[in-house]
Chains A and B, each alone.
Chain A
Amino acid sequence: MISFYIRFESLSKTVSVPPYETAVVNFTLQRINVGEKIRLSIPPSPGRMSSSTTTVLPPSKAAHLSSNEIENLLKKKLKQAPSLLCLYR
């Protein structure tokens, strides 16, 4: 199984906490699309260091795919280009 993370863009807000109630602060995070790439993080495992980026899909395709769909596409890509695994040794 290939495990990976999809990174979201961090979002910062300056908020004011009142004295006698809880402040409600919601965050809507965007997936990070770097130019033509969607940014993935692959966690470390024995023999493989972590990597912060990889080329997978153009954002027009990637934006609405679920994690399962991205995983399947990534598996296909790795089969087509097995040398990709070397990048993460």
Chain B
Amino acid sequence: MNPDGYEIALEGDENGGYGRGNANQIDLNRDFPDQYFSKGDHASFEPETLAVMNWSQSFPFVLSANLHGGSLVANYPFDDNPQGRSKVDSPSPDDALFRKLAKTYSLAHPTMHLGKPCHQSFAGRLLGVLDESFKDGITNGADWYSVSGGMQDWNYVHTNDMEITVEVSCFKYPKAKDMKGYWDLNRQSLLEYIEQIHHGLKGFVLDVNGSPLFNASIAVAGFEGKNVRSYTNGDYWRLLLPGEYHVTASALE
């Protein structure tokens, strides 16, 4: 998402000192509209953020993960809370589902599920162990540290998509020679994560003539705040854990 930052980033940079921001020095993962903290009526967003938002809302994505470096954990919504406080659990309506999604990734990873923290170093010198540990290798975002304006929570609030953030490496910018190793470590997790799209509901919303209803709302009782919308053929998908649900479809044409 940040090609300008990538251009100036340094391979092997463990702590991500260069290339975090875009060409305007903006951290794009703090630039998305936040559900708790508004930028104001005249807010502007970076072109990269606008492009990703437009793309994300153009297609009915069901499940996604955004891959990060800097730790080894599967992080799930919400990343912040109305007080902006860290070390406070901030569950979304789909908290149980997100825990399952995050655990699916973590348990399939050879070491992520052990929940051990990264070592902290500077210029090759080991400074110590970061003050963090993750039971089963997963964490609620705000319970780790509060992030406002992140892409993960924006996806949950503004699209059909369920997204988690996967920290795959203690190194912010791993060396190219190590990429095969990271692929081997994460391949099974990625496959098992993708398979989770086959849980929940899917179907079509049509009118009495059999014509598709685009942008119909599918609401699940008890999960207010995460209605999904049907796509151009009236098709919809809604991830859910096994169980019984009361589902309502409604439409305006």
Q: Which 4 A-B pairs have the closest CB atoms?
A: A5-B252, A27-B249, A10-B250, A26-B203
Write the chain A residue with the least CB distance to B252: A5
- Alpha-carbon separation in the docked complex, A21 to B196 (Å): 9
Asked if residues A6 and B201 are in contact (CB atoms below 8 Å), the reply is no
Contact with B along A50-83 (1 / 0, CB 8 A): 0000000000000010010000000000000000
Asked if residues A18 and B245 are in contact (CB atoms below 8 Å), the reply is no
Q: Can you show 22 pairs from A to B with CB atoms below 8 A apart? A: A5-B252, A6-B253, A12-B246, A13-B248, A14-B244, A14-B247, A15-B244, A16-B243, A17-B201, A17-B240, A17-B242, A21-B199, A22-B200, A23-B200, A25-B201, A25-B247, A26-B203, A29-B206, A29-B208, A29-B250, A30-B208, A67-B253
- Alpha-carbon separation in the docked complex, A29 to B237 (Å): 17
Chain A CB within 8 A of B204 CB:
yes
Which residues of B186-207 are within 8 A (CB) of A?
198-207
- Alpha-carbon separation in the docked complex, A21 to B198 (Å): 5
Asked if residues B198 and A22 are in contact (CB atoms below 8 Å), the reply is yes
Q: How far is the CB of A71 from chain B (nearest CB, A)?
A: 11
B202 contact from A12, A18, A24, Cβ within 8 A:
A24
Residues of chain B within 8 A of A20, CB atoms compared: 198-199
Name A's B-contacting residues (CB within 8 A): 5-8, 10-31, 41, 64, 67
Q: How far is the CB of B252 from chain A (nearest CB, A)?
A: 4
Residues of chain A within 8 A of B243, CB atoms compared: 16-17
Q: How far is the CB of A9 from chain B (nearest CB, A)?
A: 8
Chain A-chain B contacts (Cβ-Cβ < 8 Å), number: 99
Given contacts A8-B213, A30-B208, A14 and B246 within 8 Å (CB-CB): yes
- Alpha-carbon separation in the docked complex, A22 to B197 (Å): 8
Chain A CB within 8 A of B26 CB:
no
A24 contact from B203, B244, B246, B248, Cβ within 8 A:
B203
- Alpha-carbon separation in the docked complex, A14 to B199 (Å): 17
Asked if residues B206 and A26 are in contact (CB atoms below 8 Å), the reply is yes
Q: Could you tell me the dominant secondary structure of chain B's interface residues?
A: strand
- Alpha-carbon separation in the docked complex, A41 to B242 (Å): 37
- Alpha-carbon separation in the docked complex, A13 to B237 (Å): 15
Asked if residues B203 and A5 are in contact (CB atoms below 8 Å), the reply is no
Chain A CB within 8 A of B216 CB:
yes
Asked if residues A25 and B203 are in contact (CB atoms below 8 Å), the reply is yes
Asked if residues A18 and B242 are in contact (CB atoms below 8 Å), the reply is yes
Q: How far is the CB of A26 from chain B (nearest CB, A)?
A: 4
Residues of chain B within 8 A of A16, CB atoms compared: 243-245
Asked if residues B244 and A22 are in contact (CB atoms below 8 Å), the reply is no
B216 contact from A13, A27, A41, Cβ within 8 A:
A27
Q: How far is the CB of B219 from chain A (nearest CB, A)?
A: 9
Q: How far is the CB of B216 from chain A (nearest CB, A)?
A: 7
- Alpha-carbon separation in the docked complex, A67 to B209 (Å): 14
Q: How far is the CB of B94 from chain A (nearest CB, A)?
A: 13
Residues of chain B within 8 A of A19, CB atoms compared: 242
Q: Which of A20, A25, A30, A31 has the most CB of B within 10 A?
A: A25
Asked if residues A17 and B245 are in contact (CB atoms below 8 Å), the reply is yes
